[in-house]
Amino acid sequence: MKTLLEDLISLQNVEIKIFKASKELEEIPRKVEDIMGIIMARKSTLDAVDEELAALEDRKKPLDAELQETQEILDASDARIKKIKTNKEHMALQREVEIAKKRKADIEEQILNLMERTEKGIQEKGKLQASFNEGKTLLDEKISKLQTKAGELKSVVDTLNTEAGKLRKTVDPTLLSRYERMKKNKNGLVVVSCDNGVCSGCHMHIPPQLFNEIMRGEKLNVCPVCQRVLYTNVKPKARKKVEKEAEEADE
Ligand SMILES: [Zn+2]
């Protein structure tokens, strides 16, 4: 019985390791996704500044064109003034020049304002870009570490699976099928120790008579509460001591 349980315990230990490694492996894609999410969010802040700069440039273009047109009107006025014959025409041209000058000053002010905002935007973008680059380097490193870890875990799981396959052949078939049935409900912990009369699976006290039977190790004993298979690490010497104490208690 002891040897049978020993093989099953070895299998159980390997399968618990497989379970833990697989769980860790399963969590890695989500962790990588979370980090990618952080990078994307920071990138969208940068993109927003780029969009703002593009919008400023779009507003400046028609103003530049209008400024040029206004300047052309002013440049042409010198030539036109020489051809003027009447006072009325002269006054009309002068009025036209005044309007053009006013418009020019107004456009220049608007362009200056846009240029100042662009300048600020470029500075802000520089700062954001630097912090983004710095953060991205760290986050990329994290992702790369997680990917390395995933590779390691995969190989660990493969090795453990091979080991489990070998061990499964050594376990008594009846015991193995009981184990396979129970392991899903018991988080893989089907065979547990019971060294102080307490089941280490459910932490409940078991009857003293059952504990004696477990120490004898002659048949398969299960916890009456959680149905796990029980074994004890109490050595024969200590067992004798326990039995002696039991005898003394009986007297
Ligand atoms: Zn139990």
What is the distance between the alpha carbons of residues 206 and 35, in angstroms, rounded to a whole number?
49
Q: How far is CA 29 from CA 34, 51, 115, in A?
A: 9, 32, 45
Model pLDDT for residues 137-158, shown as the tens digit of each residue: 999 999 999 999 999 999 999 9
Task: Please state the rounded mean pLDDT for residues 55-65.
Answer: 97
Q: Is 57 in the same domain as 137? A: yes
Is 101's pLDDT higher than 80? yes
pTM for this prediction = 0.70
Query: What pLDDT shows up at residue 241?
Result: 60
**15 CA distance to ligand 1 centroid (A)?**
20
What is the distance between the alpha carbons of residues 251 and 234, in angstroms, rounded to a whole number?
24
Q: Is 62 in the same domain as 155? A: yes
**173 CA distance to ligand 1 centroid (A)?**
23
Percentage of the chain exceeding pLDDT 90: 79
Number of structural domains the chain divides into:
2
Q: Whole domain around residue 217: which residue ranges?
A: 190-250
**14 CA distance to ligand 1 centroid (A)?**
21
**231 CA distance to ligand 1 centroid (A)?**
11
Q: Is 44 in the same domain as 107? A: yes
Q: Is 53 in the same domain as 122? A: yes
147, 235, 136: which is closest to 195 by C-alpha?
235
Is 242's pLDDT higher than 60? no
Joined together, the tokens standing for residue 135 give 């953060």
**164 CA distance to ligand 1 centroid (A)?**
25
**107 CA distance to ligand 1 centroid (A)?**
86
**245 CA distance to ligand 1 centroid (A)?**
25
**224 CA distance to ligand 1 centroid (A)?**
7
Q: Is 139 in the same domain as 210? A: no
